[in-house]
Structure 1
Amino acid sequence: MASISFIMRTSTLLLIKSKFILLSKNASQQSLKGKLVETIQNNGITTISMARPPVNSLSLEMAVELRKAIENSIDNNTKGIILTSSLASVFSGGLDILEMYKPDLKRCTDFWHSLQDLWLTLYSLGIPTAAAINGASPAGGCLLALSCEYRVMVDGLHTIGLNETKLGIVAPKWFQDPLIATIGYRQAELALLRGTLFKPQEALKVGLVDELASNKTDALTKCISYITDYAKISTEARTATKLSLRKETLTWLEGNREWDTTIFLNYVQLPQVQTNLDLYIQSLKKKSK
């Protein structure tokens, strides 16, 4: 789940800078009139760019559109997928807090299911996947990057990590397990307990990202190189190996979707959580005046 504490400290600056502040669910819905995801295929490789200002927050509609873009790419026989952002300084700020504020339980349930479906689709893809992380990537944004096989992060002041504990909540198992698989149990344990947000150099050192890039173009080039390196590798053998490595976590969520959803719904209805959300939204209104 997205860390509201991160958004309060960091994303507010992005919101003000872009002069695009989400103040209500109506404002959130109006933003959906634009294109949420941009897809380009070049030389058999599909680049999927998140395009939901100001921070590519994951709403119900955003999660659905991302999954559709991935599935459409598969239907078009793509050789690999690169996930990135069309925004200048953020990859994804995580979950849209308006999906959790005074929630309609039917929509909130659909929202969580859409996020589960997106993750299951991306994490289980047989083709090569790479993330060109061109900005801030906390919580749910980090999950998207972890769901790809390879991660290239643009060097700079932004950070990446699963920082849920800083809000006083627990990252779901299917958030935790990919981090453990990526940086090892001990490093993941410390990062999850502390809610660590890694700077690019730190993320590279612990193995959270595989390479650093000087800019987005450089990151995309390195992602393309990763994907094309598999041209001479058996597709069947590669896919079977990948799914074998990821089977345990995939199987867990497939078998525990409703339990996982219940935990999430119980969380968003906690009075203290709603109070924190309300305070955050009120602070945005004051800053916009």
Structure 2
Amino acid sequence: MLAMFKDTMMNTVGHRTTEVALQLGLLYNPSEALKIGMVDQLVPEDQVLATATQTMTKWLAIPDHARALTKSMMRKPTIDKLTSNRETDIQHFVNFITKDSIQKSLGMYMAMLKKRRG
């Protein structure tokens, strides 16, 4: 499971950015996400629908088969890796997430998030 996040993020923002972010547990605000390439653009809320429509129009102008083939070629190595290691990844994730120290850290993190909302 963790490999899925790591590989997907690494394919998006690069190895070093992913390594630092995962080791430090970084969360990015929208401007930071844009700066590192995690998102393509930021738009005001009242322009989301119009911007999404413009973006989809651009992508849909490309023949479906060409777009799908390119997407598949770009993602196939990661998908194959994830598929072939699925059971091992699940077991590593379960072993990790159920450790007392991790459960304690998650509890503290959730309490901090609740405090922010309050």
| TM-score normalised according to structure 1 size | 0.35
Choose which of 67, 71, 85 in structure 2 pairs with 1:242.
71
Q: Give the counterpart letter for 1:197 in structure 2.
A: L
Q: Give the counterpart letter for 2:42 in structure 1.
A: L
Structure 1: gaps (5+ residues): 1-115, 117-171
What are the superposed Cα offsets for residues 175-221 of structure 1, whole Å, 9 maximum, x if unpaired?
Answer: 01121111222322332233222222222121111111111x42232
| Same amino acid, percent of matched pairs | 35
Pairing 1:112-151 to 2, within 5 Å after superposition: none
Q: Give the counterpart letter for 1:204 in structure 2.
A: L
1:174 aligns with 2:4: yes
How many residues in Structure 1 have an aligned counterpart in Structure 2? 113
Q: Which has the higher strand share?
A: 1
Q: Give the counterpart letter for 1:252 in structure 2.
A: K
Secondary structure class of the residue paired with 1:213? coil
Pairing 1:99-110 to 2, within 5 Å after superposition: none
Correspondence for 1:269: 98
1:233 aligns with 2:50: no
Q: Give the counterpart letter for 2:27 in structure 1.
A: L
1:214 aligns with 2:31: no
Rounded to whole Å, the distance in 1 between the matches of 2:67 and 2:8 is 19
Rounded to whole Å, the distance in 2 between the matches of 1:266 and 1:173 is 14
Structure-2 change in CA distance of 1:173 and 1:277 (3 Å): closer
Structure-2 change in CA distance of 1:197 and 1:278 (3 Å): closer
Q: Give the counterpart letter for 1:175 in structure 2.
A: F
Greater RCO (CA < 8 Å, at least 6 residues apart):
2
Q: Give the counterpart letter for 1:246 in structure 2.
A: R
Q: Give the counterpart letter for 1:218 in structure 2.
A: Q
Rounded to whole Å, the distance in 1 between the matches of 2:30 and 2:106 is 29
Secondary structure class of the residue paired with 2:42? strand
Q: Compute the displacement of 1:279 (Å).
A: 6.3
What are the superposed Cα offsets for residues 88-147 of structure 1, whole Å, 9 maximum, x if unpaired?
Answer: xxxxxxxxxxxxxxxxxxxxxxxxxxxx7xxxxxxxxxxxxxxxxxxxxxxxxxxxxxxx
Q: Give the counterpart letter for 1:192 in structure 2.
A: L
Choose which of 27, 32, 38 in structure 2 pairs with 1:197.
27
Choose which of 18, 21, 32 in structure 2 pairs with 1:188.
18
Q: Compute the displacement of 1:280 (Å).
A: 7.0
Q: Give the counterpart letter for 2:18 in structure 1.
A: A
Secondary structure class of the residue paired with 2:56? helix
